[in-house]
């Protein structure tokens, strides 16, 4: 019997670090990564239009791939659509939301930074997380709009000076606010985590949700039998949604994350 794949959805390449860790935790699973480049970026969109976009692409993905579970590998899409997706479809959905609780547990001075998209920064879901898990902390938010676009379209064609320049406004803001813990509230930001760490200094801890998300994914599909490693070669396939794109841009990511090009969904 053929096992069902796990689908990862993001507006672009941001969720790939999450996929990498999922592959490590679930080595005999098939994974499909879907970059919705047609609608990139998700950040900044109004809630109703983003819900419509995500529900439409998830509907197509379920029909095309019949997945065992879906990871919404995007903070913005997760905070806006995760609840409605779980209500509509009868399969597990794992979301990526700002790691507010771990950050609150980590901070020493009670001042936490949240680097996210404009939609995530303003969304009531984010405020609820802060109220529930970091009510005794001060959370300083910064919308890193330009960083998302940079990672998606320019990262591997740029040098360290360009990366530093893109990150500098956020770093300057968080240094001024005297944070000691920074939440990466957008999956794209994991690609520049090391540079952020160097710029902010060792006194600032950087928190992401990779471990929590992939642990939860393993938990929700643990009851489904995995294929024996010795008889199955797992497949990791990358799809996009738009017809106009620069294939060479994606080739860099395909090689780095050992993915096979699947084409356009």
The span from the CA of 175 to the CA of 182, in Å, is 11
Is 224 noted as a catalytic residue in this protein?
no
From 9, 16, 74, 190, active-site residue: 74
Residues 6+ apart with CB under 8 A from 11: 35, 36, 37, 39, 40, 41, 42, 74, 76, 77
- Residue 161: count other Cβ atoms within 10 Å of its Cβ: 8
Give the active site residue among 32, 54, 184, 186. 186
Burial (0-12, 13-18, 19+ Cβ within 10 Å), 41: buried
**Residue 140 burial (C-beta neighbours within 10 Å; 0-12, 13-18, 19+):** middle
8 A C-beta contact, residue 233 and residue 260 = no
**74 annotated active-site:** yes
Task: Give the dihedral of Cα atoms 264, 85, 39, 214; nearest 10 deg.
Answer: -70
- Give the residue numbers annotated as catalytic, written as ranges: 74, 186
């Amino acid at each position: 019997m053929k096992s069902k794949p796990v689908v990862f959805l993001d507006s672009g390449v941001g969720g790939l670090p999450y996929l990498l860790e999922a592959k490590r935790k679930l080595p005999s699973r098939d994974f499909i990564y879907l970059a919705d480049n047609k609608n990139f970026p998700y950040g900044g969109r109004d809630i109703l239009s983003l819900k419509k976009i995500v529900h439409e692409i998830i509907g197509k993905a379920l029909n095309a791939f019949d997945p065992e579970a879906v990871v919404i590998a995007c903070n913005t899409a997760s905070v806006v659509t995760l609840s409605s997706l779980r209500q509509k479809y009868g399969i597990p959905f794992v979301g990526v939301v700002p790691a507010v609780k771990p950050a609150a547990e980590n901070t020493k001075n009670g001042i936490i930074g949240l680097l996210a998209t404009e939609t995530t920064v303003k969304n009531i879901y984010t405020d609820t997380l802060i109220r529930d898990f970091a009510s005794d902390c001060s959370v300083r938010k910064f919308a890193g709009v330009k960083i998302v676009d940079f990672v998606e379209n320019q990262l591997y064609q740029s040098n360290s000076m360009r990366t530093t320049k893109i990150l500098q406004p956020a770093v300057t803001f968080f240094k001024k606010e005297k944070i000691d813990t920074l939440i990466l509230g957008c999956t794209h930001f994991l690609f520049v985590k090391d540079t952020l760490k160097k710029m902010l200094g060792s006194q600032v801890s950087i928190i992401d949700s990779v471990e929590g998300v992939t642990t939860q994914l393993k938990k929700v599909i643990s009851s489904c039998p995995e294929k024996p490693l010795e008889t199955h070669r797992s497949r990791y396939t990358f799809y996009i949604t738009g017809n106009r794109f620069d294939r060479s841009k994606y080739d860099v990511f395909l090689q780095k994350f050992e993915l096979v090009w699947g084409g356009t969904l």
